[in-house]
Amino acid sequence: MPRSDRLTSIAKLKISEYDRFIGWFNAKEQDEIGTHWQLWARKEQLPPEGDWRTWLIMAGRGYGKTRAGAEWVRAVAHRDPEARIALVSASLNEARAVMVEGQSGILAISPPTRRPHFEPSLRRLTWPNGAQALLYSAGEPEMLRGPQHSHACRTGAKRSLRQ
């Protein structure tokens, strides 16, 4: 059975079936299953298929936008050791508190063996394979001049339509 079919099968298990299924694994394996985003995400939280340049999630509070972005960044870093990712938020504090250290941030959703090293003073995350992400403030767009990035993830500044 292809991997995607197995993941779909697991995701469709009823609670009672899942409890029995998960019991087949040791504690380390159970923790690892919890980090497989394709098992737990709603279809709308997964990146679109195909060749695309921009992916916008416009949704309300509690939808899982931060988690979806963190999982996308984690996947990019995992598959491309040369990735240089810009993490842009309304402020550097928000980028750190939400995108990196938050409940749905990159550090929280990463498996311990593949968790990036965070250097707050350098605003840099470095994954074990060498991929990197740098934090930026949307309020200081000139900071983005110079560094080369292969990918970017932007979260939230909340603005009314009149601004």
Q: Are residues 56 and 134 in the same domain?
A: yes
pTM of the model: 0.79
Q: Are residues 35 and 100 in the same domain?
A: no
* Residues of the domain holding 141: 48-154
Count of domains observed in the chain: 2
Q: Are residues 118 and 89 in the same domain?
A: yes
49 pLDDT more than 50: yes
Task: Please say whether the beta carbons of 64 and 45 come within 8 A.
Answer: yes
Whether residue 159 lies inside any domain: the answer is no
The confidence score (pLDDT) of residue 65 equals: 93
Whether residue 160 lies inside any domain: the answer is no
The confidence score (pLDDT) of residue 1 equals: 45
Interatomic CA distance for residues 1 and 7, integer angstroms: 10
Whether residue 85 lies inside any domain: the answer is yes
Give the pair of three-digit tokens for residue 74: 């984690």
3 pLDDT more than 50: no
Mean pLDDT of the chain: 85
Q: Are residues 61 and 92 in the same domain?
A: yes
Q: Are residues 63 and 133 in the same domain?
A: yes
What average pLDDT does this structure show over 110-116? Answer: 90
Whether residue 134 lies inside any domain: the answer is yes
Residue of 38, 141, 139 lying closest to 94 (CA atoms): 139
Q: What are phi and psi of 159, to 5 degrees?
A: -135, 145
Q: Give tens-digit pLDDT for 51-104.
A: 888 888 888 888 999 999 999 999 999 999 999 999 999 999 999 999 999 999
140 pLDDT more than 60: yes
Q: Are residues 16 and 77 in the same domain?
A: no
Interatomic CA distance for residues 114 and 135, integer angstroms: 19
Whether residue 163 lies inside any domain: the answer is no
